[in-house]
């Protein structure tokens, strides 16, 4: 069994690559739910759905949402004076309506995800990190924002003063999460945000210790090349969490206790000795995943390094 810890946009590329390289039957994703929240009374789980759609082969080319979706409902809501900054397409809304109705009938998010993946023909299992509500709150000089308000509505323009993950300390791992970590042949930490995706998953009580106990079987891929994230504002989240440096080496330091092998980009090869000095094995390769072939190639390197 291959287990991947993943967030959304960067994470789903790796999860999809692992599926392309090794098939879905033995693949388990443990996915961040700190970005989840209500829109128009519907429970939206962005990271779970990006991974679900990627594995189902229906994700839009932009990397999130349903392929060839339309936005008539959102346009209608805007006409009525409602916020319309979060891109929920018409087909995508069906997922959120179905999830919300199932939860209203007493289902957990885990049960919803199992239903969704079976209906979309996804063989891999996708576990939310927890079934408890966990919400990432970002504090900036202009106040507190929900994660999606900071990232999508406000374009992540502001510096971050602090990050709070509400509900995390009281949460428990979703069913199957600890068993998957304990039983995995290899655990892949996807190139997701170290603070608000992977950090949140590892922050569910019991998860960090379970992963650390398997450290020799854990491999992480850097989301950072040189001094910048491949895309998105991970540098702002790093600074908001108190890390001044944004680099692959800094990532390795953050994962030092949970991860024995760290994958960095060829242009960062000079950091390999410093990473090995942390007691980690460094693997140097092209870590960019612009297309399906690149995802599969990187996944083969990752799995090959742990064979």
Write down the least CB distance from residue 50 to ligand GDP, Å.
7
With contacts defined by CB under 6 A, name the span among 20-28, 114-122, 187-195, 204-212 that binds ligand GDP. 187-195
Does 10 engage in binding with ligand GDP (CB under 6 A)? yes
Place of tokens 């018409």: 90
- Kindly give the pairing relationship between strand 281-285 and strand 261-265: parallel
- Closer to ligand GDP by CB, 182 or 266: give it: 266
Write down the least CB distance from residue 180 to ligand GDP, Å.
18
Does 47 engage in binding with ligand GDP (CB under 6 A)? yes
Does 128 engage in binding with ligand GDP (CB under 6 A)? no
Does 136 engage in binding with ligand GDP (CB under 6 A)? no
Does 288 engage in binding with ligand GDP (CB under 6 A)? yes
With contacts defined by CB under 6 A, name the span among 82-90, 120-128, 228-236, 247-255 that binds ligand GDP. 228-236
Write down the least CB distance from residue 74 to ligand GDP, Å.
19
Does 193 engage in binding with ligand GDP (CB under 6 A)? yes
- Closer to ligand GDP by CB, 154 or 179: give it: 154
With contacts defined by CB under 6 A, name the span among 102-110, 111-119, 229-237, 272-280 that binds ligand GDP. 229-237
With contacts defined by CB under 6 A, name the span among 52-60, 166-174, 190-198, 199-207 that binds ligand GDP. 190-198
Q: Which of 7, 17, 89, 199 binds ligand GDP (CB under 6 A)?
A: 7
Place of tokens 């994700």: 59
- Closer to ligand GDP by CB, 10 or 260: give it: 10
Q: Are 10 and 294 in contact (CB under 8 A)?
A: no
Does 261 engage in binding with ligand GDP (CB under 6 A)? no
Does 146 engage in binding with ligand GDP (CB under 6 A)? no
Q: In what order do the strands lie in the sheet with 162-166?
A: 143-146, 135-140, 162-166
- Kindly give the pairing relationship between strand 42-44 and strand 37-39: antiparallel
Write down the least CB distance from residue 279 to ligand GDP, Å.
22
Q: Which of 197, 200, 261, 285 binds ligand GDP (CB under 6 A)?
A: 197
Q: Which of 232, 236, 250, 299 binds ligand GDP (CB under 6 A)?
A: 232
Instruction: Count other Cβ atoms within 10 Å, centred on residue 51.
Output: 32
Query: CA triplet 116, 119, 122: central angle to 5 degrees?
Result: 80
Q: Which of 124, 184, 289, 299 binds ligand GDP (CB under 6 A)?
A: 289
Does 88 engage in binding with ligand GDP (CB under 6 A)? no
For ligand GDP, the binding residues (CB under 6 A) are 6-11, 13, 35, 47, 191-193, 197, 221-223, 229-232, 234, 287-289
């Amino acid at each position: 069994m291959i287990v991947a810890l993943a967030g959304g946009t960067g994470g789903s590329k790796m999860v999809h690559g692992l599926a392309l390289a090794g098939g879905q039957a033995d693949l388990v994703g443990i996915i961040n739910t700190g970005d989840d929240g209500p829109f128009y009374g519907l429970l939206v789980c962005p990271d779970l759905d990006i991974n679900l759609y990627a594995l189902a082969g229906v994700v839009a080319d932009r990397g999130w949402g349903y392929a060839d979706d339309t936005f008539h409902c959102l346009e209608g809501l805007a006409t009525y004076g409602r916020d319309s900054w979060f891109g929920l397409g018409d087909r995508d809304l069906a997922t959120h309506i179905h999830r919300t109705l199932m939860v209203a009938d007493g289902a957990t998010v885990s049960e919803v995800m199992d239903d969704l993946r079976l209906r979309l023909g996804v063989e891999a299992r996708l576990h939310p990190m927890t079934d408890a509500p966990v919400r990432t709150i970002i504090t900036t000089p202009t106040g507190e924002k929900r994660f999606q308000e900071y990232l999508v509505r406000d374009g992540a323009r502001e510096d971050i003063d602090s990050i709070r993950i509400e509900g995390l300390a009281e949460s428990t791992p979703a069913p199957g999460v600890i068993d998957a970590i304990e039983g995995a042949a290899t655990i892949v930490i996807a190139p997701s945000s170290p603070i608000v995706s992977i950090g949140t998953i590892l922050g569910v009580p019991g998860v960090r210790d379970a992963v650390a106990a398997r450290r020799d079987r854990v491999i992480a891929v850097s989301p950072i090349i040189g001094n910048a994230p491949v895309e998105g504002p991970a540098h702002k989240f790093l600074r908001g969490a108190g890390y001044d440096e944004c680099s692959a080496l800094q990532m390795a330091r953050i994962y030092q206790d949970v991860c024995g092998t760290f994958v960095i980009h060829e242009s960062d090869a000079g950091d390999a000795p410093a990473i090995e000095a942390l007691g980690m094995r460094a693997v140097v390769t092209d870590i960019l995943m612009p297309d399906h072939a690149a995802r599969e190639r990187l996944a083969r390197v990752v799995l090959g390094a742990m064979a």
